[in-house]
Structure 1
Amino acid sequence: MESRIWIVGCGDIGLRIAQRLQREGEEPTGVVRSPQSAERLRAAGIAAHRCDLDHETPPANGTVLWLAPPPREGRTDPRIARFVAARPSVARMIYLSTSGVYGDCDGAWIDEDAPMRPKTARAERRVDAERVLAAWADDAGIDLRVLRVPGIYGPGRLPEARLRAGTPTIAPAQSPFTNRIHADDLAAAALAVLARGRAGRAYNIADGNPTTMADYFQRCARLLGLPEPPALPPEEARAGMSAAMWSFMEESKRLRVDRLRDEIGFRWQYPDLESGLRSCL
């Protein structure tokens, strides 16, 4: 039977989604790059298709969940551009974007109507992808729904290496607000938006209970039985971080999730860090 649901970039989150779809009687196909990733999917009972998105276009049709990130350089997403140019026979598409498209909001609460003001090239690539897909969907009559996702945590996804290295964080009083979503809730939310979302809509996919970056690292350290990271003033903390790591410290926002909760009717398994972190051991 030819698959009618394709998960492009089927890593950890994609596998969680695929397994949920299987339990609902669907037969999704995961699109991955490496033979190791393909074997991992097949070992889990998921059909796999290998494709190098930098040079090929996946034969995706019907329903597509695009979880593949853009390349790590540049300000556009040529992978999405190549896919759209191939004019695939897609009816519905879920695109996993990032809450980074909003840029720095100085800690304000924002919903999906907030303007996209990316501060980093990483976020600019996502804005480009969203705009290319929106234009294509409008022209071709595609049912496109966008997920704007913040930091993902879950089993195997905690910052253990960073904590063991003693990398500093910003002192709590000056620490930026950060938003999180548990990996299992992200997988469930993606399918909820697929089933009940509206065409042309974006959805913030977070737990709705943001905390500061310092709070997150402190909680993880306590959970793992590790020393809490040094809490320093911003300029001192910056000296011990890479440019990429620091870019996350320069953005502060709190994501409203009314649309996910009220429009989709989504209910979180892990509505806050306290409940979600307990599942990570």
Structure 2
Amino acid sequence: MSEKRIFIFGAGYSGKAFGRVNAGSTTIFGTTRSPEKFEALRQAGIAPLLFDGALTGEISDALKKTTHLVISVAPEEAGDPVLNAAREAIAQMPALEWIGYLSTVGVYGDYGGAWVNEKTTCRPVSKRSVMRVAAEQAWLKLGEDIGRPVAILRLSGIYGPGRNGLVNLENGTARRLVKPGQVFNRIHCDDIAGALWQLIEGNISGIFNVTDDEPAPPQDVVTYAASLMGVEAPPEIPFETAQLSPMARSFYGENKRVANAAIKAAGYRFRFPDYRAAFDHMWASGDWRDGEARSPMKR
């Protein structure tokens, strides 16, 4: 089998977790909009390139040798920025074997706390989720047009080192908002990386919910983090009286339990099947504060 060469459009928090798992065994290029972020990408094992919505010669050259393309860029009103800039170039990539698109479970909309899976009808509520559905369809259509497998990874609430309830408690921003019956799924960034590698290794196509096993009330997560730290959890705040940004409030307007059987059927086994396993590990290892300084995991 030929050597993999991976290109990530939008190598942010999840992309860097993906690069760290690799431990330098595969060539990975990744884009950012800011040259100031180049060093963080290099530390994660990713060769940095600048992408601000227009193709550069460097990107075009890298794409010509790329075997696996990962897109982690949010859509805009004008459509998917990567497709807008690079559709023709992607359609002509000579070595391309597989495309992966990182989406969100927000595409399902509100199901009143009921379980959803990949066959559930998407009923997006927010404008950003409506745009996500359109972007998913556009990438699936491109794959169909050029005869390449496309995997859509629908991610739940992303957390990990540097982004978690332990950090929020330490810096005083943790809140326990209580909306009766409300649950959310979550996903540790290392499991996003692991699922992505699993699909890449097999050039597997399809739609996959990449999410943990346990949808849970958000206040329970804060309480558990506080118990690990040996500090008092912040007081409960009724959702009705909470001061929230419009975006934060919109998240609470959607309530569903997201099933993950498809990615497990594709062979992936979660490193952190629930938030307790992840928080236990982060607290014991001490890597909860900073996602940039970790040593690479082995896969």
How far does the alpha carbon of each residue in 1:80-101 deviate from its partner, in whole angstroms, 9 at most, with x for none? 3333244341331111000000
Letter in 2 for 1:275: A
Number of residue pairs the alignment of both structures matches: 270
Instruction: Tell me what 1:15 maps to.
Output: 16
Q: Which residue of 2 aligns with 1:78?
A: 81
Distance 1:217 1:122, change over 3 A: farther
Confirm or deny that 1:155 pairs with 2:161: yes
Structure 1: how far apart are the matches of 2:246 and 2:281?
A: 31
| Matching residue of 2:221 | 216
2:7 maps to 1:6: yes
Q: Quick one: which of 178, 182, 185 aligns to 1:179?
A: 185
Deviations 1:100-155 (A, max 9, x none): 00001111111100111111112112111101111111111121001000011111
Equivalences for residues 90-101 of structure 1 within 5 A = 90-101=96-107
| 259, 263, 268: which one aligns with 2:262 | 259
Q: State how far apart, in whole Å, the 2-side matches of 1:147 and 1:272 are.
A: 18
Aligned Cα RMSD in Å?
2.4
Q: Residues 7-49 of structure 1, C-alpha deviation per residue, up to 9 Å, x if partnerless? A: 22112321221233345x3111122221122222224443222
Structure-1 separation of matches of 2:110 and 2:68: 33
Moved more, 225-234 or 124-133: 225-234
**1:169 maps to 2:174:** no
Letter of the 2:73 partner, please give it.
A
TM-score (norm 1): 0.86
| 1:136 correspondence with 2:142 | yes
Q: Given residue 95 of structure 1, which amino acid in structure 2 is its aligned partner? A: Y
Q: Which amino acid aligns with 2:69?
A: V
CA distance in 2, matches of 1:226, 1:242: 27
Residue in structure 2 matched with residue 31 of structure 1 by the alignment: 31
Segment drifting more, 157-166 vs 111-120: 157-166
User: What's the % identity of the aligned pairs?
Assistant: 31
Unaligned runs of 5+ in 1: none
C-alpha distance in structure 2 between counterparts of 1:234 and 1:75, whole Å = 34
Counterpart Cα distance in 2 of 1:169 and 1:207: 21
Bigger relative contact order, structure 1 or 2, given CA contacts below 8 A and separation 6+? 2
- What TM-score does the superposition give when structure 2 sets the normalisation length? 0.81
Q: 1:84 to 1:220 in 2, by over 3 A?
A: farther
